[in-house]
Structures are given as structure tokens and as C-alpha cells.
Amino acid sequence: MLSVERLNVAYGESHVIRDVSFTLDPGESIAIMGRNGMGKTTLFKALIGLLPVLSGRIALDGVDLVPLKSYQRVAAGMAYVPQGRMIFPYLTVEENLLLALETAPAPERTVPRYVYDVFPVLWDMRARRGGNLSGGQQQQLAIARALVTRPKLLLLDEPTEGIQPSIIKEIARTLHALRGERGFAMLVSEQVLSFAMEVADRFLILDKGELAYESPRDGVDTARIHAYLTV
């Protein structure tokens, strides 16, 4: 489904992502873990088209995404939940969701009912401004905003950041159930191992912009991951 081959990405003169290669199968979930500053967000921004690449290939279902703008990548089936959520604080919950559908064909410019079913608090608060929601509710809104585009691949960058533990567990359960029901694949950037263990089938460690470790969930060396996260 997703194929990343020898990807290199830079911020100005700083070479951040170095020859990163991996594949993601349909319906699979991968957690990309690592400390702050190791390149996780840079990688995600390059995948969704917010940063240019120096070299390498990004393909979704065989289609080369590198020449495509970010909105074209969304149309191809990618959806992105950015670090920090980045909702529109002065728009209502419903307006935030509808805004994600602006480029969709007219018949599809409605919020799918299942989104409200899995995040009922958003239905209850659909007329409330996004900036008046709690951190956990804003994260649910950010995920819902990505889901309304009916993605093949969902990218979530640090989804547990600033969220209380009870909401983290709820989001993990919801994502696991949604992936099973809707069939999309997931790529999750994360530092909280317990959350990653709930949602990921496979683990990749990014260290100084390079892939340093890979393992399926049933063979993961948690001590080794903790070492990469705390060094």
C-alpha cells in the first residue's frame, strides 16, 4: 500500500531524514517511535506533502506521491492528524469537520454518521467552538476531521501529547475498533509505548533521522525501545 524508499528530507541546511525505507500493508498499523528531535514530525510532513524531499520515493498503491501537492495526496487517500491538533478554534465542531470536505464531490460533503457514532461527544458539542473543547475533545475532533475524508491511510503525529491517561486509553480503543471496521491503514508517531502497543502491529524506531530498529508487536523488545526513548 504505502512504500517509502530511501527518503531524504532536510530543513534548510539540516539533513533530518536519512535514507529511510519501509512499507505499510493495507489495513496494517505501524508505530514510528523515537525521542523529540529524531525526525518523526519531519517524516510525517514529508509524507503528507508539507515538506519537500531531497530524494527518494513515496508511493501509495503504486502512485508516486512526491510530485503531488498535499491536497492531492489527501484526494489519493491519505489523511493527517498533526501534532498539536491544529483545529480552528473559532469554528464550531461541525464547521471544522465540514471544512475538511471542501474539496470533496458535492454528494460527499456531509459528515459520515459513523464519525459522530464513535465520537459521541462531538455530536453533543457540534455547535460549540473548537477552542472551547478540552484537550482530549480537541484531539477527538482532529481525528474525526481526518476520518471524514474516508482515508485509506491515516497519519497521526503524537496523538497522545497533552492528553490525560483515561482519554488516551479511550482513543486507543476507538482507533483499534475503527481500523477493524473501516479497513484503513495507520502510521502513528508516538513516544508513549503503552499507547503504541494498543494500536500498532509493527514498530519502527527513528534515531537521528535513521531507522534504528524494527519489530512486529509480538516480538518487540520493550526494554530496547525504552532505551531509545530515554537516552
Amino acid letter at 207?
D
Per-position pLDDT tens, the chain of length 231: 999 999 999 988 899 999 999 999 999 999 999 988 899 999 999 999 999 999 999 999 999 999 999 999 998 999 999 988 789 999 999 999 998 887 666 556 788 888 999 999 999 999 999 999 998 899 999 999 999 988 999 999 999 888 888 888 888 988 988 998 889 999 999 988 989 999 999 999 999 999 999 999 999 999 999 888 886
Pure H helices in 77-189:
93-99, 113-118, 120-124, 135-147, 165-182
Read off the amino acid at residue 80: Y
For the domain made up of 2-230, give the CATH fold. Rossmann fold (3.40.50)
Domain ranges of the chain: 2-230
Using DSSP's 3-state secondary structure scheme, residue 37 falls into: coil
